A = this chain, B = another copy of it.
């Protein structure tokens, strides 16, 4: 018997992505989001949702670009910090000991220390209540060579991304492999 919990964002897992942007003064800023995901294969695109009050909101609207920076779990404190502090008063890169690199492709900075980065051109802006959803076309993916496997694919076991659950506000690591996609389900095919 299922219990009704009412309305709420009791979903899981969610990502832990740091959104990079340049503000009006050209200062590099970061905002951590759990509200986001991949939304399209072609064009390759991701979404990140931000409240209008966030410093990054104006930055993305003006520059029409952002990066998605995927931290490894060693950077959990920096990731959390970038979700608590405001770029209006703080230099989050400096405070968290991170290095900003200007993207050659979009008008936004990315995090040198993080293993996986998506450079995004703003594609659409969707208003949904208190949050604004930014849809970004992924114009390039950049990865540290150390997180690639023999075939040049990104290996999650080397990236060690953070996994979040809003239900208890906890960050998790990645667990063990429990199945291969487009394979393990074939047992139910007639």
Contacts and interface: CB of A to CB of B under 8 A. Distances in A.
What is the copy number of this chain in the assembly?
A: 2
A1 B170 CA distance: 31
A4 B140 contact: yes
Nearest to A180: B170
A77 B133 contact: no
Closest 10 CB pairs of A and B: A37-B37, A80-B185, A173-B175, A81-B185, A169-B181, A154-B167, A2-B142, A40-B131, A40-B128, A81-B188
Contacts of A161: 12-13, 165
Interface residues of A, number: 105
Interface of A: 1-15, 17, 34-47, 49, 68, 70, 73, 76-85, 90, 95-96, 116-118, 123-124, 126, 128-131, 133, 135, 138-145, 148-149, 152-156, 159, 161-190
Contacts of A43: 7, 128-129
A174 B13 contact: yes
13 contacts: A8-B44, A9-B41, A11-B118, A35-B38, A40-B130, A41-B131, A76-B179, A80-B184, A90-B190, A171-B177, A171-B179, A172-B176, A173-B176
